[in-house]
Amino acid sequence: MIKIESLIKSYGPHKVLKGVNLEVKEGEVYGFIGHNGAGKSTTMNILAGLMDFQKGSCFVNGISVQKENSETNRDIGYLPEDPKFYPYMNSWEYLRFIGSMSGDTKKQIKEKSEKILDMVKLLKSAKRAIGGYSRGMKQRLGIAVAMYNDPKLLLLDEPSSALDPAGRIDVVEIISKLKNQGKTIFLSTHILNDIERVCDRVGILNNGQIVLEESIDKLMKSYIQPVYDIEFDTDLNEEKIKILNNVDYIEKVNFEKRSANIWIKDFRQNSVNLIKLLSDINIPIISMNLRKNSLEEIFLKVVK
């Protein structure tokens, strides 16, 4: 759905994108991550045909994106970083304004608006002036506007970043619904927790290039730490501690009275061995967790 090849963009002497390559497949939710000023909004503005670039190419649905050529935009809905609305209009009026620009009839506008406002949970507040909306409501209206023409691809620039936890959950829910409708979604965010919940794949933009592009599943697996945090039902005695200390595939053990952290070598091969061993030496276990890195920790590791 999106293909970006060797994209180069500078603002005067300031090089922002230094050969970006990425691909977003149809039906995928792709999380575009990068620190402040990495070039996320620049990339999105280029994809939306709002900005020129110096070198490389961008394709949406196989068509080359060119600034101010609206051909690719027929398939795109765009939520900019800081969406602006006429504050004196209400949501019905604003969508009517958008619909009339699209050439829709009054009947079509009403039907489409009702459906979309319902999806973003704004039907009840649709007659209130937008100027009085909370940030979360404005963001949801922004998504409604991006969705108005039922585009195949949605570009969402930081859809949840300025919102409180409840507002973020609303946005993540809407993104999940859109994903279930088969939309392709390219979204940027700093809130990596949200990305973990809703994205299929992520790309990390750093220093003008994509330094890592991977499915969330694979990423979590490849950055897994081979440490088990275990809580026991009884105190560990000397004998059992001795056994655990003398196993060749156990790299390190920290003991507390009723808990242990066990680092193992070759996680894939030895995790089963460890569970067998614990069962053999007959220590009742309350909980056993494999320590995982959060996406935030992975991001910091990759970027540093």
Instruction: Name the binder of 34 from ligand ATP, Mg ion, none, CB < 5-8 A by kind.
Output: ligand ATP
257 phi/psi in degrees, rounded to 5: -60, -50
- Establish if 41 lies at the interface with Mg ion (CB under 5 A): yes
Q: Which is nearer to ligand ATP, 39 or 99 (CB)?
A: 39
Q: What are the beta bridge partners of residue 157?
A: 188
DSSP notation for 37-67: TSSHHHHHHHHTT-S--SEEEEEETTEEP-T
Q: Which is nearer to Mg ion, 41 or 113 (CB)?
A: 41
Torsion of CA 173, 174, 175, 179, to 10 degrees: 100
Selection from 166, 228, 223 nearest residue 194 by Cα: 166
Coil vs helix vs strand at 272: helix
- Pattern 155-194, binding to ligand ATP, x per CB under 6 A? ----------------------------------------
Please identify, among the stretches 78-86, 92-100, 145-153, 199-207, the one whose residues bind Mg ion according to the rule CB under 5 A.
Answer: 78-86
10 Å CB burial of residue 304 (0-12, 13-18, 19+) is exposed
- Establish if 90 lies at the interface with Mg ion (CB under 5 A): no
Please identify, among the stretches 10-18, 144-152, 167-175, 256-264, the one whose residues bind ligand ATP according to the rule CB under 6 A.
Answer: 10-18
Q: Which is nearer to ligand ATP, 38 or 236 (CB)?
A: 38
Instruction: Name the binder of 42 from ligand ATP, Mg ion, none, CB < 5-8 A by kind.
Output: ligand ATP
Instruction: Give residues 26-85 in contact with ligand ATP (rule: CB under 6 A).
Output: 34, 36-42, 81
DSSP notation for 177-219: HHHHTT-EEEEE-S-HHHHHHH-SEEEEEETTEEEEEEEHHHH
- Establish if 13 lies at the interface with ligand ATP (CB under 6 A): no
Please identify, among the stretches 75-83, 100-108, 118-126, 211-219, the one whose residues bind Mg ion according to the rule CB under 5 A.
Answer: 75-83
Residue nearest to Mg ion (CB): 41
Closest approach, Cβ 191 to ligand ATP, in A, equals 11
Query: Distances in Å between the alpha carbon of 113 and those of 96, 118, 140, 179?
Result: 8, 8, 13, 20
Closest approach, Cβ 190 to ligand ATP, in A, equals 6
Listed in sequence order, the residues at least 6 apart from 229 whose beta carbon sits closer than 8 Å to its beta carbon are 259, 260, 261, 287, 288, 289, 291
Closest approach, Cβ 188 to ligand ATP, in A, equals 7
Question: Tokens 């829910």 sit at which residue?
Answer: 173
Coil vs helix vs strand at 252: strand
Closest approach, Cβ 157 to Mg ion, in A, equals 6
Instruction: Give the H or E element holding residue 300.
Output: helix 295-303
Please identify, among the stretches 40-48, 125-133, 139-147, 210-218, the one whose residues bind Mg ion according to the rule CB under 5 A.
Answer: 40-48
Q: Which is nearer to ligand ATP, 16 or 185 (CB)?
A: 16
Contact residues for ligand ATP (CB under 6 A)? Answer: 11, 14, 16, 34, 36-42, 81
Contact residues for Mg ion (CB under 5 A)? Answer: 40-41, 81
